[in-house]
Amino acid sequence: MGLFDGDIMKYEDWNKISRIASRKSLWMVHFCTGCGAIELPPVMTSRYDMERFGMGPMATPRQADVLLITGYLTVKTLKRVVNVYEQMQSPKYVISFGSCPINGGMYWDSYNTVKRLDRYLPVDVYVGGCMPRPEGVMNAFLELMKLIDEGKARGWEKYQKYYEQYKRNQKMAFNFEREKDEGA
Amino acid sequence: MKALELIGKGEEMHGRAYIKSDKEEASSIIKKLKENGFDHFVMLSCVDWIDNNEFELVYHLWSYEHKEHVMVSIILPRDNPSMSSMHELFPQIETYEREIHEMYGVDFEGNNRLTPFMLEGWHDMPPMRKDFDSKKFAEDVFDSIPEIKEEEDEGI
Amino acid sequence: MKEYELFIGPQHPGVTGNMMYHLWVDGDIVTKAECNVGYLHRGFEKLMESRGWMQNVPLVCRICVPEPDVNEMAYAMAVEQLMDWEVPDRASYIRVIVLELARIAAYLMSIGSYAGSLGIYTLPQWTLGDRDYILDIFEQLTGARVYHIYIWPGGVRWDMPEGLPDLIEKTLSYIEKRLKLYDDVFFRNRVFFDRAAGIGKIPKNRAIEWGVTGPNLRACGYGYDVRKLEPYAAYGDMDFEVVKYPELGDFEVISDGCDAYTRIVVRRLEIDQSISMVRQALKKMPEGEHILKHPNWLKWKAPAGYAFSRVESSKGEYGYFVVSDGSSKPVRIHVRGPSYTHGINVAETILKGANIADVSQILFSLDVCPPDIER
């Protein structure tokens, strides 16, 4: 009795295998959305070296698995981030980086940064702090791998299921005019 | 100070020359300063003095020759402020003018590139004006966005 | 031939951070370039108007990410001008040490990423790894790796801990040893000579008019450095020569200056200069107070007036224009970032006529850093 019992592999079994495979080679999109990007080069290069976890930067979103939101997100960047996220192939994961995407951080009263990232994109792992240390970043990667292994990193499925709600929120953030008209 | 001698007015402020000028005179003063060694245009700032109902434009110039900093200040009315562009004297003024146009709503005649610069899809009042309340705006726009409502069952 | 349009960025490893260039291309040659910024605009200047003088210090350092200390320094200087404060001598020397260490870290990062844009991936691995040892010093001194919030109006936040000078000396001699390796791998590398010489030339006679500053201006042959022109902190007591083209030390002069090659070599030589300056500051540092006696942090008011302070950073000249009306909050703080001119007007002009393959290295050689354009 094993995985290959019968002609066709069971969907659940296949899912498990694909999860084990994908967690060992996570590639992240090379997109510096905010100031947290300054702690990524140390993580990528010789001192912390994330390649030992099978992670590496990837220039095109179509071949990447992880999107890192490195710090605050302005409305203008959010548009591009949504574009990038929708180009990525499933399964895809989002790591939010720093305090700003959690609740606005020190830009809580800024007119141009979105305050809570999870209203626009599904987030799998949060890393707190400003800046999070490279060890924190590495820990987030390990946490993400654990979640993938357990089948709990389901942000992308959530995005598909509640697509309309996410789109509505994104549009509300992009279109200031609509807000203004309603208020008037 | 060299700049004060050249222009014949102004005062010293923390070791830097500060010259009060007006809309018509400013470009000739800056041209004269440029010809006399003040060849590094540092920046163009705008200050909103809402109590006096006026904007103050401050042109900063530096001279590598005389090692001296000079600020030329111009007062504009807060309603329909406009100023002639000086991007022909120093090309980078164009960018500063673009920013001030977007952030304060000051119009620069002769600048053909007053297109949106940093903000995208902005329809409210220019945000750097003092009567624009950033906190209220953030509350109105970003706090009104609802959370994603999830259904009870976890089996997505 | 038909022209086509090319969008580089914001999600692209070839631009220096979160910004975008819109290029019109004929074959391989760029015919027109337009910069599109604003992806990092947080409205700092607006936020600073609603916070007190002291509350702005943590905001200020976030304006330049690779080298935050220059911003703290410039802001502190502007506030000190308004308040008419004299900083204790010891604080000035500690400031020099911090600023120069930050400059080395920023140069290591910019040289590494420039080499990466030429496809020499060994150097970024090394420089970014070595930069981390400087961040370790900062961690001991200030408690943070990236944003230190250490230089305050009136001095520095706390005194240097015991044993730190030894660690600094150890790190500096390690970096000196490593610099020799960098020279072999990169600065005497045929690829670097062939790719960088004569690329991205800023016309020498227009450099000052265009607002080019810092190492980029010195690569054009003008020996202008704010540290010499208007000495701040303890730079007046430091013994150093401004690096400029064509005095490139041990390095060959293979072009007429103003190009990517000279800009990077000038940065390399300034690392040596900074190392010597840190050593001088450690030697000359006097004993004494590290900060002034302050009024209540949360309540003090700055006298009305205009203050302007300028600081030399690894990218060029930073200027802070601070206006006060005598209350506990500033009326206006305007930041002049060096990338404002380099990234927009200068880059747009010198990218014209460049090959597409060189666009990325021109941007990295100018060391454009978008957060200080947008703030």
Cα gap C171→C177, rounded to integer Å: 10
Which residues of C241-290 form beta strands (DSSP E)?
A: none
Chain segment C218-274, per-residue pLDDT in tens: 888 888 888 888 888 888 888 888 888 888 888 888 888 788 899 899 999 999 999
CB B113 within 8 A of CB B136: no
Q: What is the DSSP letter of A120?
A: T
The whole-number pLDDT of residue C104 equals: 92
Nearest CA to C373 among C147, C63, C151, C157?
Answer: C63
* Residue B152 is assigned to a structural domain of this protein: no
Q: B92 vs C81: CB contact, 8 Å cut-off?
A: no
The whole-number pLDDT of residue C177 equals: 92
Degrees (nearest 5) of the Cα angle A105, C41, B112?
A: 165
Task: Return the bridge partners of B59, or none.
Answer: B44, B72
Q: What is the enclosing helix (H) or strand (E) of B17?
A: strand B16-21
Q: Which of A79, A177, A183 sits opposite B140 (nearest CB)?
A: A183
Residue C313 neighbours by CB under 8 Å, 6+ apart:
C64, C67, C70, C103, C106, C214, C338
Task: List residues of B whose CB lies inside 8 A of any A CB.
Answer: 118-124, 127, 132, 134-135, 137-138, 140-150, 156
Can the peptide bond before residue C303 be classed as cis, meaning omega within 30 degrees of 0? no
In A, minimum Cα distance to C37 occurs at: A76
Q: Which of A75, A109, A114 sits opposite B135 (nearest CB)?
A: A109
Chain A residues within 8 A of B145 when measuring between CB atoms: 116, 119, 169, 172-173
Chain segment A15-29, per-residue pLDDT in tens: 888 888 888 888 888
CB B40 within 8 A of CB C211: yes
CB C340 within 8 A of CB B55: no
Tokens 């990234």 belong to which residue? C343
Q: B118 vs C47: CB contact, 8 Å cut-off?
A: no
- Mutation for A interface: B124, B144, B148, most A CBs within 10 A: B148
How many Cβ atoms are within 10 Å of B14's Cβ, its own excluded? 16
Q: By the CB < 8 Å criterion, does C364 face chain A? A: no
Q: What is the DSSP letter of B107?
A: E
Residue B13 φ then ψ, to 5°: -140, 110
Round to the nearest angstrom and report the end-to-end CA distance of chain A.
68
The type of residue at C264 is I
ipTM of the complex, rounded to two decimals: 0.88
Tell me the mean pLDDT per 10 residues along chain B, length 156.
76 84 85 86 89 89 88 88 85 88 87 82 83 85 81 60
Q: Which subunits count as partners of chain A given 3+ CB pairs below 8 Å? A: B, C
Tokens of B99: 């920013």
Cα gap C195→C358, rounded to integer Å: 8
Tokens of B54: 């006026």
Q: A110 vs C59: CB contact, 8 Å cut-off?
A: no
Residue C236 neighbours by CB under 8 Å, 6+ apart:
none
| β-pairing verdict for A66-70 and A93-97 | parallel
When pLDDT is cut at 50, 70 and 90, the band that residue A183 belongs to is very low
Q: B95 vs C340: CB contact, 8 Å cut-off?
A: yes
Q: B134 vs A108: CB contact, 8 Å cut-off?
A: no
The type of residue at C370 is P
| Category of C259 on φ-ψ map: left (φ > 0), alpha (ψ -120 to 50) or beta | beta
Nearest CA to B132 among B43, A79, B141, C75?
Answer: B141
Q: Which of C230, C306, C344 sits opposite B13 (nearest CB)?
A: C306
- Inform me whether the pLDDT recorded for A182 exceeds 50: no
- Which CATH code, of 1.10.645.10, 3.90.1210.10, 1.20.1740.10, 1.10.730.10, is assigned to C42-374? 1.10.645.10
Chain A residues within 8 A of C58 when measuring between CB atoms: 106
The CATH number for B133's domain is: 3.30.460.80
Overall average pLDDT of the A71-85 stretch: 87
Task: Return the bridge partners of C333, or none.
Answer: C322
| β-pairing verdict for C332-336 and C317-324 | antiparallel
Query: Order of strands across the sheet with A125-127?
Result: A56-58, A27-29, A66-70, A93-97, A125-127
The whole-number pLDDT of residue A184 equals: 36
CA distance B43 to chain C (A): 6
When pLDDT is cut at 50, 70 and 90, the band that residue A4 belongs to is low
pTM for this structure? Answer: 0.90
**Cα C291 vs. chain centroid, distance in angstroms?**
25
Chain A residues within 8 A of C18 when measuring between CB atoms: 31-34, 37, 77
Q: Name the CA dihedral angle for A150, A151, A156, A159, rounded to a multiple of 10 degrees.
A: -110
Task: Return the bridge partners of B108, or none.
Answer: B83
Q: C224 vs B64: CB contact, 8 Å cut-off?
A: yes
Tokens 């690392």 belong to which residue? C271
Q: Which residues of chain C are under the pLDDT cut of 50?
A: none
- Mutation for A interface: B102, B145, B149, B154, most A CBs within 10 A: B145
Residue A170 φ then ψ, to 5°: -60, -45
Cα gap C255→C198, rounded to integer Å: 6
Instruction: Considering only residues B138 and A12, tell me which one the structure prediction assigns the higher pLDDT.
Output: B138
The whole-number pLDDT of residue A7 equals: 67
* Residue B148 is assigned to a structural domain of this protein: no
Q: Where are the domains of chain C?
A: 42-374
Q: Which subunits count as partners of chain C given 3+ CB pairs below 8 Å? A: A, B
Query: Order of strands across the sheet with B68-77?
Result: B11-13, B16-21, B68-77, B54-63, B40-49
* Residue B58 is assigned to a structural domain of this protein: yes
For residue C367, give the 3-state DSSP assignment: coil
* Residue B149 is assigned to a structural domain of this protein: no
Cα gap B115→B118, rounded to integer Å: 10
For residue C307, give the 3-state DSSP assignment: strand
Q: A111 vs B134: CB contact, 8 Å cut-off?
A: yes
Q: Which of C18, C46, C128 sits opposite A32 (nearest CB)?
A: C18
Nearest CA to C220 among C251, C250, C246, C253?
Answer: C246
Domain residues for B47? Answer: 2-142
DSSP string, A30-57: ----SGGGGGHHHHHSTTT-GGGGT-EE
CB C82 within 8 A of CB C322: yes
* Residue B125 is assigned to a structural domain of this protein: yes
Tokens of C360: 């990325």
| Category of B80 on φ-ψ map: left (φ > 0), alpha (ψ -120 to 50) or beta | left
For residue C45, give the 3-state DSSP assignment: helix
Q: Which of B121, B123, B148 sits opposite A162 (nearest CB)?
A: B148
CB neighbour class for C103 (10 Å; exposed up to 12, middle 13-18, buried from 19): buried
Q: How many domains does chain B have?
A: 1
- Mutation for A interface: B118, B141, B150, most A CBs within 10 A: B141
Tokens of C197: 């010489």
Specify the CATH number of the domain A21-183. 3.40.50.12280
* Residue B122 is assigned to a structural domain of this protein: yes
Cα gap B6→B23, rounded to integer Å: 19
Q: What is the enclosing helix (H) or strand (E) of A137?
A: helix A134-150
Round to the nearest angstrom and report the end-to-end CA distance of chain B.
74
The whole-number pLDDT of residue B155 equals: 52
Q: What is the DSSP letter of B151?
A: P
